[in-house]
Amino acid sequence: MRAVNGGRRPIGVIGTGYVGLVTAAGFAHLGSDVYCIDIDADKIARLHRGEMPIYEPGLAEMVAANRDRLHFSTDIADALERAGLLFVAVGTPPTYSGDADLSAVYAVVNAIPAHPSRSEEQRHALVMKSTVPAGTGASIKRVLAEQRKQDLSYVSCPEFLKEGSAVHDFLAPDRVVIGDDGDWAGDAVVELYAPLEAPLVRTDIASAEMVKLASNAFLATKISFINEIANVCEETGADVIEVARGMGLDDRIGHKFLQAGIGYGGSCFPKDVTALKQLAGNSGYHFQLLNAVIEVNELQKRRVIGKLHKHLGSLVGRTICLLGLAFKPNTDDMREASSLVLSARLQADGAKVRVYDPVATDEARHLIRGVHFATDALDAVAGADAVVLVTEWDEFVALDWPEVAARMAGTLVLDGRNALAAEAVAAAGLTYEGIGRRTLTSSR
């Protein structure tokens, strides 16, 4: 990695969520002064107090180490006053139709005051980190022109970080994609990312926007594909772990995203797949494959319920334990988590639900009602007729299975992520059932 920013203009980051805060801390780490803006005054107050509004490994340390270069405020004019490049990292959640909700993006565009053309030292650019449909940059540029803000340049710089390893992903990205009009702003973003020495894709704005949506849709497709293979494995006696191992060695396929489970969740895949499907539909193209990807994912979450019925019969009055609530390990993010669907469906079927997550419990309390929030994993499994692994946190993988068996009322362990050592579970006298794998029952 090359040396840090010397004497460059400060940058602004609008939105201090998972992407914005990591981006801000990352650029501060590389030597920039960063003005971080959020409309959530409580979030800004917490950041002022040195508290982290989100859980992300390594982020608190990076923010603390660069505290003197990070400035937090709710005042966008403050960032505009000082910064040249304004990174936009606000949410783009789905609307009811499945299109991306761009209201927060346009709120930022509208909040920027019109101003007479600036000198070279004072010029500004919006750099879009938020995931937006292809064509959004062109629309924003039209709006800026209508609002007499043509002197504001526009760059698309989609973000590819993964929650749970976001700090690492900022510092060592697979690629940096920059879509621009070939003006000073694109050059400035290239320069800012240069110390990371990552492969650079410099292209037009619409193509950069499409790289992001197409990448997430492809990864989601890979997950739904292996999940369907897993479902066929269950009917044919094959083991999806062996199948994926054999497939992944083909370097045209690769091992990543070939882990069968109870479906993808999170703040990105579900909404980005739907947004791409809608984008295609809005422009007259029926993206048939993505319909299937979405449907398979929804059904996959629900197959867990079918498996529980297969083993336990009626779930009325049964106690089911969900281990893990976050949509994946190492994050507190509950957006579109499989646990939301499962806890609701189990209660609808009359089950009593006990849940535990190492970090997402506080967040989950706002979203999941009627369940017992346990204090730890062993407390969660107490009296359970079945335990379902929903999120493969390390501490669940390393559980003391004889102790779990002693505390459970029943014997079923349903591994929704194919992450547990099946033999260790069965050796404890429990019945192990994964996704796309043969059921393993204790021989004791």
Residue 166 identity (one-letter amino acid): A
Binding string, residues 135-174; x marks residues near ligand NAD by CB under 6 A = ------------------------x-x-x-----------
Strand partners, 154: 126
Distance CA 281, CA 345 (A): 31
Minimum distance from CB of 130 to ligand NAD (Å)?
3
Q: How many residues form the binding site for ligand NAD (CB under 6 A)?
A: 27
Minimum distance from CB of 291 to ligand NAD (Å)?
21
264 touches ligand NAD (CB under 6 A): no
* CB count in 10 Å sphere of residue 409: 12
Within positions 113 to 132, which residues make up the interface with ligand NAD, using CB under 6 A? 129-131
Residue span binding ligand NAD (CB under 6 A) among the ranges 32-40, 143-151, 231-239, 407-415: 32-40
18 touches ligand NAD (CB under 6 A): yes
Element (H, E) at 355: strand 352-356
Name the one residue in this structure whose structure tokens are 């004497």: 7
- Contacting residue, 91, 324, 329, 434, with ligand NAD by CB under 6 A: 91
Residue span binding ligand NAD (CB under 6 A) among the ranges 38-46, 338-346, 367-375, 385-393: 38-46
Q: CA torsion angle for 294, 337, 419, 426 (degrees, to 10)?
A: -110
Name the one residue in this structure whose structure tokens are 């107090």: 49
Residue span binding ligand NAD (CB under 6 A) among the ranges 18-26, 142-150, 356-364, 433-441: 18-26
Residue 119 identity (one-letter amino acid): S
Give the residue closest to ligand NAD by C-beta: 17
238 touches ligand NAD (CB under 6 A): no
397 touches ligand NAD (CB under 6 A): no
- Contacting residue, 5, 13, 28, 43, with ligand NAD by CB under 6 A: 43
278 touches ligand NAD (CB under 6 A): no
30 touches ligand NAD (CB under 6 A): no
- Contacting residue, 66, 153, 267, 300, with ligand NAD by CB under 6 A: 267
Cβ closer to ligand NAD: 266 or 410?
266
Name the one residue in this structure whose structure tokens are 């923010």: 63
Instruction: Select from 27, 161, 132 the least CA-distant residue to 83.
Output: 27
401 three-class SS = helix
Do residues 229 and 179 make contact, with C-beta atoms less than 8 angstroms apart?
no
Distance CA 76, CA 13 (A): 9
* CB count in 10 Å sphere of residue 403: 13
Distance CA 388, CA 419 (A): 12
Contacts of residue 11, Cβ cutoff 8 Å, sequence gap at least 6: 27, 32, 33, 34, 35, 83, 84, 85, 86, 87, 192
Q: What is the DSSP letter of 114?
A: P
Cβ closer to ligand NAD: 364 or 387?
364
367 touches ligand NAD (CB under 6 A): no
Minimum distance from CB of 40 to ligand NAD (Å)?
4
Hey, which residues are catalytic here?
Answer: 268
Distance CA 353, CA 345 (A): 10
Q: What is the DSSP letter of 30?
A: T
415 touches ligand NAD (CB under 6 A): no
404 touches ligand NAD (CB under 6 A): no
- Contacting residue, 9, 31, 39, 94, with ligand NAD by CB under 6 A: 39
Cβ closer to ligand NAD: 64 or 107?
107
379 touches ligand NAD (CB under 6 A): no
Cβ closer to ligand NAD: 50 or 402?
50
> Exposed, middle or buried by CB within 10 Å (0-12, 13-18, 19+), for 196?
middle
Distance CA 66, CA 29 (A): 6
92 touches ligand NAD (CB under 6 A): yes
Minimum distance from CB of 324 to ligand NAD (Å)?
18
Name the one residue in this structure whose structure tokens are 């980051």: 13
- Contacting residue, 11, 14, 210, 399, with ligand NAD by CB under 6 A: 14
Distance CA 441, CA 432 (A): 6
Residues that bind ligand NAD (CB under 6 A): 14-20, 37-40, 43, 89-92, 104, 107-108, 129-131, 159, 161, 163, 267-268
